[in-house]
Structure 1
């Protein structure tokens, strides 16, 4: 704590010294400005406000022009992108939770924008060097392709992370739903209450299903859409059982209690499976990093001794 106070006082001291030096250096200009404002009655604040307003107007015009060109580019991309590709991108973005609220066309535009920026950046950096023009073009093209692939890779990482988070939170989520149902609440009210109290992709997906039911969909249709949106096998099997229980009129409390037990058993089995895979995954790092060092330590002195004998 004493060290922290010492650094704080030291920084404050140097800031004061720096301010005093700047004031001394620009003292003449400060006096001239103050006298000019006094004798000519210049409203400096008004001038600053006018400059700021002009800057904001210019920025607004630039944004309008930029939006105009981006809309044209998106229209061209929309025409050139097939319906199948749009559906695939829509499915991937839906599974990732719509990061940055991007539509498929916005995502494709972002890919082309990153690729174009990297291409021109590499071209301008290496264009004035002694590297041949063909090599610069090839290198810029490769970097641009990698940059265009990066958003797709990022979406895949988000999707994988989202699936893992859904699998992790399923037991606790359905336990809370089961407790609410046993307390006397309905299934929809229980889901709404749990979604309001918890955060995460699982709550977001169920809230979307509840909103679909408010808009007129039946529970079966909303749960079927929910099953399509979340490509997790365990979650899909749970939603299928909930749909069947709703069709047959089975008590939801018993169904959800058995489902949570099954989920915990599957998580235990998955942990055991990952533990069994660990030795196989450790083989290559051991061969590349650990075994060579051990051989050097064990056989190094012997090799040196044999060389001396020879």
Structure 2
């Protein structure tokens, strides 16, 4: 009975599927939320450390490890979370919101059924870790805040950035880009994208992920190193036309060699191909 009245003061009650979205908690959480963190991994409690004490008034660990010893199924945690939600639902008011935190869409049918039985109760599923909804990092919080209802709905219906981006417009994709650069001569694009599901930063180079980071500062350092590298690599061509011509004539390596040796391109080509062929290739190149 005491717990029933205790929960009445919280606006949102979260049920976290730690097997699915992880156990990490934000640095700060509002005083009007309460968290049930479901745990099955024996190392999670050790990793949480001081956070358990820090949030002791707003956090309850639901340790299902003892149950796992009795022939647990693949979806053991899912069943435990739904059972707990059904119990708590009878205690809370219509003004409170109950939220399952998991990327697992399997919860949706249970939520739909409970809403059908109790239409005035507020039950939802969030597909992102708690660290996203209550992000302490200014950059992360800025991204979350600028996502409108339509984008957040798409975010909730997917489990990865790759899957999400297939349904986003170009402008919507740009909401997750923190910093970008396009080298004008080569057209190569470098950018940092925030992965809202993993709570990480991905550095993209020419359309592919080069590396992932937990800290934005590290991603930005490598981003600027790539930008400098691209500028040094392609500034010697002066234009897209010259770059295209170099590819056509297969003289990339000689342009690089001349640049490093501070030698004229014509002299470099002559030294490799002879007087006649070297001058011919040089004239073909500069006529681009």
Q: Please state which band the TM-score falls in when normalised by the shorter chain.
A: under 0.3
The normalised TM-score by structure 1 is: 0.20
Higher-helix-fraction structure: 1
The structure that has the greater radius of gyration is 1
Higher-strand-fraction structure: 2
The normalised TM-score by structure 2 is: 0.21
